Structure 1
Amino acid sequence: MSSAPPPPHGGPPPPGRRQRLRARWADRHALPRFGFWLLTRGMTVLAGCAALYVLNGTLIGWADAYEVLAGMTSPAAVRPQWCAWPLSLAGWAAVPAVIGGAAGYVITEQIQAHHAHDLEEVLGELRRLTQPPDAPPSCGSGE
């Protein structure tokens, strides 16, 4: 009639994969502006373009899908056309918009990083730097 010892209590179980992914997705707001934009807006557009490319690659062929996406071939020149036209529009408008948006965010961040400071702020910093250092605290030994 021996009873088994109770299992050691080591705290709550580790979070599962779903909980970790949910926490990471919730932390996206802590990213810099460019990272947040790229993760939320840019990836959405690029995922749509990738889905169109895969659909066209399977229906009209991968080389033709690339040529339609890049604008080298007219969507009217391939069959079926119903899927080539959206791919052509994505290659003409959506992909350059994402690239332009990314470039705009990077340039804006660089400009803001090198933005001129207020004159009073700069003068206050210079005054602080030109002040003599404070005297070190005394040891209190009385000698």
Structure 2
Amino acid sequence: MSFAAPPPHDGPPPPGRRQRLRALWADRHALPRFGFWLFTRGLAVLAGCTGLYVLNGFLIGWAGAYEVLAGMTSPAAMRPQWCAWPLSLAGWAAVPAIIGGAAGYVITEQIQAHHARDLEDVLGELRRLTQPPDVPPSSGSGQ
């Protein structure tokens, strides 16, 4: 009876899904400002709006939920009204706030990336560039 040798072990096992999610959550502060905002605050608001939409989709119908969310139909015209009013408010205030916040962060990042330099820095660099190059040292071999 001959048994096959076990395969060589190359190190620790790869991290599981739970460990990868925990590491991703721990690294959220390393994200840029827009990514951090979207990952923390934006997801919570988006989840709330999605939950309201799904609840209204089941209670008043998907087309009715879309019309209330988009502001095409008054929530007073829907039955039951108790769930249509929060969806209407989300469509009127929360969704534009998410879009506006995202656009604001993107625009701010672009402005900061292309921010003008100080005049003294530019003049100092121009002075350095207009100076003649240094003379290279002689080889010193004398030949």
TM-score, length-scaled by structure 1: 0.85
Shift of 1:140: 7.3
Shift of 1:133: 3.9
Percent of aligned pairs with the same residue? 87
Shift of 1:8: 3.7
Shift of 1:11: 2.0
Residues 130 and 4 (structure 1 numbering): CA distance in 2 closer, same or farther, change over 3 Å?
same
Task: Name the CA distance, whole Å, in 1 between partners of 2:46 and 2:137.
Answer: 61
Shift of 1:92: 0.7
Shift of 1:125: 1.8
CA deviation profile, 1:22-52 (whole Å, cap 9, x unmatched): 1122222222111111121112111110110
Shift of 1:10: 2.4
Q: Which shows bigger deviation, 37-46 or 132-141?
A: 132-141
Task: Name the CA distance, whole Å, in 1 between partners of 2:45 and 2:99.
Answer: 11
Unaligned stretches of 5+ residues in structure 1: none
Residues 91 and 137 (structure 1 numbering): CA distance in 2 closer, same or farther, change over 3 Å?
farther
The question of 1:61 aligning with 2:61 is answered: yes
AA matched with 1:99: I
Residues 51 and 137 (structure 1 numbering): CA distance in 2 closer, same or farther, change over 3 Å?
farther
Match runs of 1:64-143 below 5 Å: 64-134=64-134, 143=143
Unaligned stretches of 5+ residues in structure 2: none
Task: Name the CA distance, whole Å, in 2 between partners of 1:100 and 1:58.
Answer: 29
Task: Name the CA distance, whole Å, in 1 between partners of 2:21 and 2:138.
Answer: 55
Residues 14 and 133 (structure 1 numbering): CA distance in 2 closer, same or farther, change over 3 Å?
farther
AA matched with 2:72: M
Task: Name the CA distance, whole Å, in 2 between partners of 1:77 and 1:96.
Answer: 23
TM-score, length-scaled by structure 2: 0.85
Residues 83 and 132 (structure 1 numbering): CA distance in 2 closer, same or farther, change over 3 Å?
same
Q: Which residue of 2 aligns with 1:12?
A: 12
